[in-house]
């Protein structure tokens, strides 16, 4: 059986969830839902990154212990995950015991392999990014991300990252699909070619983290702990276990470009050093900006996704996020553009198609799927376009081309709307010629089969809205496999009602 392992980053708990987090989680959910409908065994992992200085400082500012603060903040992320209808299989918190065990096991593996040594770190650190910076990267006391940096000097364990330059380059050369999109792949390759320095992987100045095995005066650098989450969820260190064996070879990490280096350089190096294969694929998407600046908790310019959901509905927002910007590129969020998109693609194109065809048939066609007569060329053409979606959409999902997935479906919606206008089933209804009435049945049958295809394929994007359309069409079989069976004549329709209201 095909398997898929789809992950989001685990989010820091230093602020409330915002549209950026919603974006990655919705994208992962769309992929997870698609592959389940395609018959794959899917594991969808999300969760929270609860250790490190950034969370510890936020807790202190709130006057709480880090654990109490994390326990409070995590509920906001869990609520977000549910509110956006993310069909996750595992929500992992890095404060869980199984995660501490996994992170320690990975550390020990690296130690046994001679990949860790003790020394002193002296350099710049940005708590906001939980990242180290080179002297040459600091401009006017700030990291290239704009984050303030502080000088850090302390005893630290180091990981021999410098030894992994060539293995990483060889790996990426042999696996061109391992990093996407292509521009990001090039960035990572040139970063590695620029030379890798050993990485400081422990801290002594605070204790909110996973204790270093055998040396309680150190906690692990939050990123080594955080990245391990992807294998904790598969039962690491039990690499021979069924879960690990079934899912790790099919791993897909989705993340924003802000954390590409951690995922595409450090993580594969840790894994290779521990004798494990790197993730199968890393897809790094772009940023949503708001008024031109990256939306982020630290900058305080975030868009509140809950307000948007309350105003516009969840499924329209999910669709907008996937449709508006090619997955991989940046996009600027604007409520006006969101409204335009909802009105044009959802209310006008898909909503009208479903509503006019279904309510006409409900009232004038006996409220059931009509019997088609002989198919004409234009009928066959439209049906062929709908049938062809299967292959096109499969390729889109294999490459995480989420915007293309939407565009391809809406291409068929547009064809179907033009077909309705050309075939005019309502005029046929007025004719007294029985041939015209038979033709009306054929036209409506063709349209309903196309709507069935569309609504089955929009399920990953808009689970509830698609389900409503399929309910109205009287369809219980909703997997992609169901499309192999012809639409059944005589199936009763349920009373139609508009699925996508227009936003005034």
Positions touching ligand ME8 (CB under 6 A) are 9-12, 20-21, 23-24, 49, 226-227, 229, 255-256, 258-259, 287-288, 294-296
The least CB distance from residue 214 to ligand ME8, in Å, is: 24
Nearest approach, Cβ of residue 468 and ligand ME8 (Å): 29
* Residue 219 CB neighbour total at 10 angstroms: 22
Whichever of 15 and 373 has its CB closer to ligand ME8, that residue is 15
The CA distance from 350 to 345, in Å, is 6
CB of 279 to ligand ME8, least distance (A): 11
Q: 258 or 471, CB closer to ligand ME8?
A: 258
CB of 308 to ligand ME8, least distance (A): 14
CA angle centred on 405, ends 292 and 7, rounded to 5°:
70
E strand residue ranges, 105-261 = 116-126, 131-133, 150-159, 179-180, 199-200, 202-203, 211-212, 215-220, 251-256
- Closer to ligand ME8 by CB, 209 or 351: give it: 209
Alpha carbons 172 and 184: distance in angstroms, whole number: 12
Residue 221 or 360: the one with the smaller Cβ distance to ligand ME8 is 221
Pick the closer one to ligand ME8 by CB: 18 or 453: 18
Determine the Cα–Cα distance for residues 159 and 111; give it in Å rounded to an integer: 9
In the complex, the smallest distance separating the C-beta of residue 383 from ligand ME8, rounded to whole angstroms, is: 39
> Residue 151 and residue 128: Cα distance in Å, rounded?
14
The burial class, CB within 10 Å (0-12 / 13-18 / 19+), for 438 is middle
CA distances from 36 to 32, 41, 102, 386, 427 (A): 6, 6, 28, 20, 41
Question: Distance between CA 423 and CA 426 in Å, rounded?
Answer: 9
CB of 11 to ligand ME8, least distance (A): 4
Taking the complex as a whole, the smallest distance from the CB of residue 226 to ligand ME8 amounts, in Å, to: 4
Shortest reach from residue 258's CB to ligand ME8, in Å: 5
236-to-12, 53, 99, 429 alpha-carbon distances in Å: 22, 25, 9, 65
Q: Which is nearer to ligand ME8, 24 or 423 (CB)?
A: 24
Residue number, 258 or 378, with CB nearest to ligand ME8: 258
Closer CB to ligand ME8, 271 or 386, in the complex = 271
List 118's β-bridge partners, or say none. Answer: 157
Instruction: Specify the residue, 24 or 343, whose C-beta has the smaller distance to ligand ME8.
Output: 24
Residue 232 vs residues 90, 97, 225, 353: alpha-carbon distances, Å? 11, 10, 10, 46
Instruction: At 138, give phi and psi (nearest 5°).
Output: -80, 125
Nearer to ligand ME8, 24 or 355 (CB): 24
Q: How far is the CB of 74 from ligand ME8 (least distance, A)?
A: 12
Q: Residue of minimal CB distance from ligand ME8?
A: 20
**What residues form DSSP beta bridges with 208?**
none
DSSP string, 238-302: -TTSHHHHHHGGGEEEEEEGGGHHIIIIIHHHHHHHTT-PPPSEEEEE--EEETTEE--TTTT--
Q: How far is the CB of 331 from ligand ME8 (least distance, A)?
A: 8
């Amino acid at each position: 059986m095909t398997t898929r392992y789809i992950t989001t980053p685990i989010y820091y708990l230093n602020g409330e969830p915002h549209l950026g987090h919603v974006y990655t989680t919705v994208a992962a959910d769309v992929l997870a839902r698609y592959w389940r409908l395609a018959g794959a065994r899917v594991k969808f992992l999300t969760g929270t990154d609860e250790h490190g200085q950034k969370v510890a400082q936020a807790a202190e500012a709130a006057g709480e212990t880090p654990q109490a603060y994390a326990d409070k903040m995590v509920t906001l992320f869990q609520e977000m995950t549910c509110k956006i209808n993310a069909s996750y299989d595992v929500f992992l918190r890095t404060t869980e015991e199984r995660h501490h065990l996994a992170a320690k096991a990975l550390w020990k593996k690296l130690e046994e392999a001679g990949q860790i040594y003790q020394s002193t770190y002296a350099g710049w650190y940005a708590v906001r990014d939980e990242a180290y910076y080179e002297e040459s990267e600091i401009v006017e006391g700030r990291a290239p991300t704009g984050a303030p940096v502080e000088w850090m000097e302390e005893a630290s364990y180091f990981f021999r990252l410098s030894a992994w330059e060539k293995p990483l380059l060889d790996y990426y050369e042999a696996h061109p699909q391992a990093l996407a999109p292509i521009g990001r792949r090039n960035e990572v390759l040139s970063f590695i070619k620029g030379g890798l320095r050993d990485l400081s992987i422990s801290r002594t100045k605070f204790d909110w983290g996973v204790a270093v095995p055998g040396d309680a005066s150190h906690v692990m650098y939050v990123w080594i702990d955080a990245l391990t989450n992807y294998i904790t969820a598969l039962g690491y260190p039990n690499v021979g276990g069924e879960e690990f064996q079934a899912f790790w070879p099919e791993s897909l990490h989705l993340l924003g470009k802000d954390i590409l280096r951690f995922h595409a350089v450090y993580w594969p190096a840790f894994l290779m050093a521990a004798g494990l294969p790197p993730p199968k694929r890393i897809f790094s998407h772009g940023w949503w900006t708001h008024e031109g600046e990256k939306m982020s908790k630290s900058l305080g310019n975030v868009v509140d996704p809950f307000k948007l959901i309350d105003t516009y509905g969840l499924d329209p927002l999910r669709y907008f996020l996937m449709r508006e910007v090619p997955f991989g590129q940046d996009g600027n969020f604007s409520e006006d553009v969101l409204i335009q998109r909802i009105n044009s693609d959802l209310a006008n194109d898909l909503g009208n198609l479903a509503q006019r065809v279904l309510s006409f048939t409900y009232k004038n066609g006996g409220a059931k799927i009509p019997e088609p007569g002989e198919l004409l060329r234009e009928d066959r053409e439209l049906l062929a376009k709908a049938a062809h979606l299967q292959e096109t959409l499969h390729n889109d999902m294999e490459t995480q081309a989420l915007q293309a997935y939407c565009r391809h479906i809406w291409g068929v919606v547009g064809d179907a709307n033009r077909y309705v206008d050309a075939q005019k089933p309502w005029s046929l209804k007025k004719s007294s010629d029985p041939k015209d009435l038979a033709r009306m049945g054929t036209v409506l049958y063709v349209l309903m089969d196309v709507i069935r295809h569309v609504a089955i394929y929009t399920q990953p994007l808009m689970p509830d809205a698609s389900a409503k359309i399929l309910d109205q069409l009287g369809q219980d079989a909703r997997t992609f496999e169901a499309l192999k069976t012809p639409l059944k004549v005589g199936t009763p329709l349920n009373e139609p009602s508009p699925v996508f209201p227009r936003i005034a």
